[in-house]
């Protein structure tokens, strides 16, 4: 799902990771990469333009978030904007106060409407509803049979006109050739048999045409649906936008269902549909089996596209855990050329602890094999020891570690219940960290220790 787009975007971010501070040129280069990746993935040109414009503007004026390095900040912005073009909030089906609720499916032939009807029926049945499927696709010779098959699999009854018969499932007065009458009779049947939801499968054509649209509009007018779901094959490329616009005008659908998201195709056109039509994506269909179906959540889809595992959750936690004022003070201090001291080190250790278990946190990071190994050896008690050692130092020692001579080391070791060797080790490590912080302050920006290569 969106594999190519995902790869391209992650590569772009990887290239940013080595940068301390992003210049306007860096941001422009990144935005150009994102633009190319989206266009190559068939995202509509107008959507790409708006998207990259916003990302660029936000990246340039990016508020200093001490918890995030520049690459993380760009990922965060791209993620938020992806969520926005995918429709922002997720929403479920709008159901009627007085059942039966009517859900009508519309879309081109082969989009996956009939398959979706079965999936939706099963999903609703599992939620305790009593849906009825209505076969109003009388165009395709097999459509009625196909709906009966999926209905049976889903354990949901199907209302259909009997072939070569004037009636529909015994109902009189319904012509087998009139989809509007079948749809209307289907809703009536649901009402009399106390089904609380009716799902109407309608006919599609290979392309958008006036007759098809008129038929869909007639079915709509005859059944007053609570939801009109436009079903669209995520693999149809740039045609998606024109098709979606035609259906938006023709039947004024209320929501979108993306199908075939399991395909390896570029799929980006599907990303344009919510933005171009202003209608939310409600569900995604991800295979031929009835269970290959899920509610669509813009935020989850965006993080899947960014292939960031739970990095975004991690970023949120980091932002929460890191005291913005403290971090800003530290950033200012570094920028002014002052040295990173043991007191600062202590503050950072405490902030790290705020983020919860380091192991759990780093477990969320994808593709961090090496880091993870280091983590498996990470001992949280080590943090306690470090803290105890620093706390046994005088303020002057914390400010100027150089003054910590042999007798001071022995006193600190005794005070914190560790060996002098452990004090020495900490001081060595601190000198390393100090060096790293100096480099970072030259490169600009603060980063969380240990997250440098995110
Ligand atoms: P309709 O003409 O809109 O009713 O489309 P169908 O429901 O008949 O689906 C057309 C074809 O697409 C069928 O072969 C389905 O099995 C297949 N299909 C439907 N949904 C999906 C999906 O999410 N993933 C995949 N891989 N195939 C699907």
β-pair type (227-233, 101-106): parallel
pLDDT at 148: 95
Task: Output the pTM of the full model.
Answer: 0.70
Query: How remote is the CA of residue 2 from the centroid of ligand 1, in Å?
Result: 18
Contact 39, 48 (CB under 8 A): yes
Q: What is the mean pLDDT of residues 223-240?
A: 91
pLDDT at 115: 96
- Going by the annotation, the residues of the binding site are 107-114, 201-205, 259-262
Query: How remote is the CA of residue 277 from the centroid of ligand 1, in Å?
Result: 23
pLDDT at 381: 73
pLDDT at 322: 62
Q: What is the mean pLDDT of residues 370-388?
A: 66
Query: How remote is the CA of residue 143 from the centroid of ligand 1, in Å?
Result: 12
Residue with CA nearest ligand 1 atom 20: 112
pLDDT band, very low/low/confident/very high, at 257 (cuts 50, 70, 90): very high
Which of 107, 109, 115 is the pocket-test mutation for ligand 1 (most atoms within 8 Å of CB)?
115
- As annotated, the residues of the chain forming the CATH 3.40.50.300 domain(s) are 101-296
Query: How remote is the CA of residue 231 from the centroid of ligand 1, in Å?
Result: 10
Decide yes or no: CATH 3.90.870.10 for domain 101-296.
no
Residue with CA nearest ligand 1 atom 9: 112
Spell out the residues 6+ positions from residue 281 whose beta carbon is closer than 8 angstroms to its own: 86, 87, 255, 256, 257, 258, 273, 274, 296, 298
Q: Which helix (H) or strand (E) holds 295?
A: strand 293-295
pLDDT at 369: 43
Angle at 448 between CA 447 and CA 450, to 5 degrees: 115
Query: How remote is the CA of residue 111 from the centroid of ligand 1, in Å?
Result: 6
Query: How remote is the CA of residue 122 from the centroid of ligand 1, in Å?
Result: 16
pLDDT band, very low/low/confident/very high, at 139 (cuts 50, 70, 90): confident
User: For the segment 294-317, what is each residue's pLDDT rounded down to a tens digit?
Assistant: 888 898 888 778 766 545 555 666
- As annotated, the residues of the chain forming the CATH 1.20.120.140 domain(s) are 3-85
- Going by the annotation, the residues of the binding site for GTP are 107-114, 201-205, 259-262
Binding-site residues, ligand 1, Cβ < 6 A? 107, 109-115, 204, 259-260, 262-263, 285-288, 292
Q: Work out which ligand 1 atom sits closest to the CA atom of 259.
A: 23
pLDDT band, very low/low/confident/very high, at 239 (cuts 50, 70, 90): confident
Which of 107, 108, 109, 112 is the pocket-test mutation for ligand 1 (most atoms within 8 Å of CB)?
112
User: For the segment 156-169, what is each residue's pLDDT rounded down to a tens digit?
Assistant: 999 998 665 433 44
- Would you mind telling me the total number of residues written for the chain in this entry? 454
User: Alpha-carbon distance 3 to 5, whole Å?
Assistant: 6
pLDDT at 375: 53
Q: Work out which ligand 1 atom sits closest to the CA atom of 201.
A: 4
User: For the segment 319-369, what is each residue's pLDDT rounded down to a tens digit?
Assistant: 666 666 776 777 777 677 677 788 887 777 776 666 655 555 555 554 444
Q: Work out which ligand 1 atom sits closest to the CA atom of 143.
A: 4
pLDDT at 336: 74
- As annotated, the residues of the chain forming the CATH 1.10.260.30 domain(s) are 323-443
Residue with CA nearest ligand 1 atom 5: 112
CATH of 323-443, one of 1.10.357.10, 3.40.630.30, 1.20.120.1200, 1.10.260.30: 1.10.260.30
Q: Work out which ligand 1 atom sits closest to the CA atom of 109.
A: 2
Query: How remote is the CA of residue 37 from the centroid of ligand 1, in Å?
Result: 27
User: Alpha-carbon distance 315 to 321, whole Å?
Assistant: 10
Q: Work out which ligand 1 atom sits closest to the CA atom of 261.
A: 23
Which of 106, 288, 293 is the pocket-test mutation for ligand 1 (most atoms within 8 Å of CB)?
288
Q: Work out which ligand 1 atom sits closest to the CA atom of 287.
A: 24
Query: How remote is the CA of residue 110 from the centroid of ligand 1, in Å?
Result: 6
Decide yes or no: CATH 1.20.120.140 for domain 3-85.
yes
Contact 116, 133 (CB under 8 A): no
pLDDT band, very low/low/confident/very high, at 155 (cuts 50, 70, 90): very high
Q: Following DSSP, what letter does each residue of 63-96 receive, concatenated?
A: ---TTS-HHHHHHHHHHHHHHHHTTSS-------
Give every strand in the sheet of 158-159, ordered side by side: 158-159, 131-136, 197-202, 101-106, 227-233, 255-259, 281-285, 293-295
Q: Work out which ligand 1 atom sits closest to the CA atom of 137.
A: 4
pLDDT at 6: 83
Q: Following DSSP, what letter does each residue of 320-349 receive, concatenated?
A: HHS-HHHHHHHHHHHHTTPPP-HHHHHHHH
pLDDT band, very low/low/confident/very high, at 181 (cuts 50, 70, 90): very high
Residue with CA nearest ligand 1 atom 19: 112
């Amino acid at each position: 799902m969106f594999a190519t787009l995902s790869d391209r975007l992650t590569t772009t971010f990887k290239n940013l990771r080595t940068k301390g501070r992003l210049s306007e040129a860096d941001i422009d280069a990144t935005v150009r990469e994102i633009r190319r990746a989206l266009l190559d993935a068939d995202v509509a040109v107008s959507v790409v333009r708006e998207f990259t414009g916003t990302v660029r503007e936000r990246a340039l004026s990016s508020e200093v978030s001490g918890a995030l390095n520049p690459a993380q900040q760009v990922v965060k912005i791209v993620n938020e904007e992806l969520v926005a073009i995918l429709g922002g909030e997720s929403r479920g089906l709008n159901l009627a106060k007085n059942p039966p609720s009517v859900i009508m499916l519309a879309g081109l032939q082969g989009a996956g409407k009939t398959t979706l009807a079965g999936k939706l029926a099963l999903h609703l049945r599992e939620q305790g509803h009593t849906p009825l499927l209505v076969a109003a696709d009388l165009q395709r010779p097999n459509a009625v049979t196909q709906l009966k098959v999926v209905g049976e699999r889903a354990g949901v009854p199907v209302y259909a006109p009997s072939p070569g018969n004037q009636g529909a499932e015994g109902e009189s007065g319904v012509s087998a050739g009139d989809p509007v009458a079948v749809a209307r009779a289907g809703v009536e049947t649901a009402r009399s048999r106390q089904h609380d939801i009716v799902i109407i499968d309608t006919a599609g054509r290979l392309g958008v045409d006036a007759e098809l649209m008129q038929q869909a509009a007639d079915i709509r007018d005859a059944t007053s649906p609570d939801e009109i779901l436009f079903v669209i094959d995520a693999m149809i490329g740039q045609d998606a936008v024109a098709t979606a616009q035609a259906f938006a005008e023709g039947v004024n659908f209320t929501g979108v269902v993306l199908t075939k998201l399991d395909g390896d195709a570029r799929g980006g056109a599907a990303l344009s549909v919510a933005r171009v039509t202003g209608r939310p994506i409600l569900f995604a269909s991800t295979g031929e089996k009835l269970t290959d179906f899920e509610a669509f959540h813009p935020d989850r889809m965006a993080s899947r596209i960014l292939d960031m595992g739970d990095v975004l959750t991690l970023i949120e936690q980091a932002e929460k855990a890191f005291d913005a004022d403290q971090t800003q003070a530290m950033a200012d201090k570094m920028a002014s050329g002052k040295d990173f001291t043991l007191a600062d080190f202590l503050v950072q250790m405490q902030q790290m602890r705020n983020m919860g278990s380091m192991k759990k946190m780093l477990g969320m990071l994808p593709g961090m094999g090496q880091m993870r190994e280091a983590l498996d050896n990470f001992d949280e008690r080590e943090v306690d020891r470090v803290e105890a050692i620093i706390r046994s130092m005088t303020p002057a020692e914390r400010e100027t570690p150089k003054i910590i001579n042999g007798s001071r080391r022995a006193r600190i070791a005794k005070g914190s219940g560790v060996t002098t060797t452990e004090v020495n080790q900490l001081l060595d490590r601190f000198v390393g960290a100090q060096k790293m912080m100096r480099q970072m302050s030259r490169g600009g920006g603060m980063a969380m220790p240990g997250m440098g290569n995110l």
